[in-house]
Amino acid sequence: MTFSALRNSISLLVLFAWTTLLQAQESSSDLAKKLSNPIASLISVPFQYNYDHGYGPLDGDKSTLNIQPVIPISLNEDWNLISRTILPVIWQDEIAGPSGSQFGLGDTVQSFFLSPAKPTENGLVWGAGPVFLIPTGTDDLLGGEKWGVGPTVVALKQDGPLTYGVLANHIWSFAGNDDRADISNTFLQPFLSYTTPDAWTFALNTESTYDWKTEEWSVPINLTVSKLVKIDKQPISLTAGLRYWAAAPDNGPEGLGVRVGLTFLFPK
């Protein structure tokens, strides 16, 4: 082999390796962007841990592990049905005065979004459907012991590295323990995220709830950083961040909290 041929071979190998690396980064970046879309056509299983404190007169603590599988179902070429579940596993201590510690399941929130398979001409992604509150709480202080139902909707745009939009729902209780308070809650989650070419995502959102019965807001503001990595070809997103309670009921949390997360992705 001549020197010129060897040089050309090395150049081709370098070009191939560089192209492969860029394609891998692009693929990881695309997956990371899909995670910013609550109704993306992507199976994901997030495990989201939150720690908050300042509950009640004894400044109680609460740790919540939200298990949040997202499962898209293709109905036809034009429509998808996306199932989003939030099952909380809770440990809490002295959240209602001298109430001791509780550990177990909280109430489950189950949403279904009917969504077009493709964005609209102006790039809008949207979905709408019902949301259900299922009384899976294993302790009086972990759940409301009420069944609930209502509408949910999400709308967003993805413009280059940016993703921005809002998710909202309203739940009314319609059955359950008559001795427990009725539920009429509006949930609002505006969100904004920026994803880099090497699959880092910087996100800001609020997960605000307005209780129409007590006329009180709960407003945690979340700032997180995520990185998508692959372990033995399995894509995983790692998340860490802080949350600040801008508003809460008198017996609710206050100050700063912590959020960390681990999400398993299963691309088609």
Hey, what are 116's tokens?
Answer: 């077009």
- Distance (Å, whole) CA 43 – CA 72: 6
At residue 19, the pLDDT reads 37
Using CA atoms, how far residue 237 sits from 157, 177, 262, in Å, is: 21, 39, 6
Count of alpha carbons within 13 Å of 124, Cβ hemisphere only?
8
- Assigned CATH topology for domain 3-266: Porin (2.40.160)
Q: Is 57 exposed, middle or buried (0-12, 13-18, 19+ CB in 10 A)?
A: exposed
Confidence at residue 1, expressed as pLDDT on a 0 to 100 scale: 52
- Token code pair at residue 165: 């939009």
Amino acid 168: pLDDT: 98
Positions in the chain whose pLDDT score sits under 50: 3, 6-7, 9-26
- Per DSSP, 233 falls in state T
pTM of the model: 0.87
Q: Residue 2: what pLDDT?
A: 54
